[in-house]
Amino acid sequence: MFFTDLGGSAAMLRLRELDDDALKDIGLARSEIEAAAFGRVHTYSRGRRS
Protein backbone atom coordinates (compact mmCIF):
# COMPACT_ATOMS: atom_id res chain seq x y z
CA MET A 1 0.00 0.00 0.00
CA PHE A 2 2.77 2.48 0.88
CA PHE A 3 4.50 2.02 -2.50
CA THR A 4 1.24 2.34 -4.38
CA ASP A 5 0.48 5.61 -2.60
CA LEU A 6 4.00 6.86 -3.21
CA GLY A 7 3.70 6.07 -6.91
CA GLY A 8 0.35 7.83 -7.14
CA SER A 9 1.71 10.84 -5.32
CA ALA A 10 4.65 11.08 -7.71
CA ALA A 11 2.31 10.74 -10.70
CA MET A 12 0.07 13.44 -9.28
CA LEU A 13 3.00 15.83 -8.92
CA ARG A 14 4.10 15.18 -12.51
CA LEU A 15 0.60 15.65 -13.89
CA ARG A 16 0.19 18.93 -11.99
CA GLU A 17 3.28 20.24 -13.81
CA LEU A 18 1.51 19.94 -17.17
CA ASP A 19 -0.40 22.84 -18.68
CA ASP A 20 -4.07 22.52 -19.60
CA ASP A 21 -3.32 21.87 -23.28
CA ALA A 22 -0.97 18.99 -22.43
CA LEU A 23 -3.55 17.50 -20.08
CA LYS A 24 -6.19 17.77 -22.80
CA ASP A 25 -3.85 15.97 -25.21
CA ILE A 26 -3.74 12.98 -22.88
CA GLY A 27 -7.47 13.11 -22.24
CA LEU A 28 -7.52 14.61 -18.75
CA ALA A 29 -9.00 17.70 -17.18
CA ARG A 30 -7.13 19.37 -14.33
CA SER A 31 -9.91 18.30 -11.95
CA GLU A 32 -9.18 14.64 -12.77
CA ILE A 33 -5.47 14.62 -11.90
CA GLU A 34 -5.79 13.05 -8.45
CA ALA A 35 -8.17 10.34 -9.65
CA ALA A 36 -5.97 9.56 -12.66
CA ALA A 37 -2.82 9.36 -10.53
CA PHE A 38 -4.44 6.73 -8.34
CA GLY A 39 -6.07 4.81 -11.20
CA ARG A 40 -9.65 5.94 -10.67
CA VAL A 41 -10.32 7.56 -14.07
CA HIS A 42 -11.44 5.60 -17.10
CA THR A 43 -11.35 7.73 -20.22
CA TYR A 44 -13.57 5.33 -22.13
CA SER A 45 -16.49 6.14 -19.84
CA ARG A 46 -16.36 9.90 -20.43
CA GLY A 47 -18.14 9.86 -23.77
CA ARG A 48 -15.22 11.03 -25.90
CA ARG A 49 -14.99 9.88 -29.46
CA SER A 50 -11.83 9.50 -31.50
What pLDDT digit, counting tens, does each position of 32-46 carry?
999 988 888 876 555
Residue 48 confidence (pLDDT) above 80: no
SS3 (DSSP) at 33: helix
CB 37 within 8 A of CB 8: yes
Average pLDDT of every residue of the chain: 79
Can you give the pTM of this predicted structure?
0.67
Could you give the angle at the alpha carbon of 15 between the alpha carbons of 9 and 7, nearest 5°?
A: 25
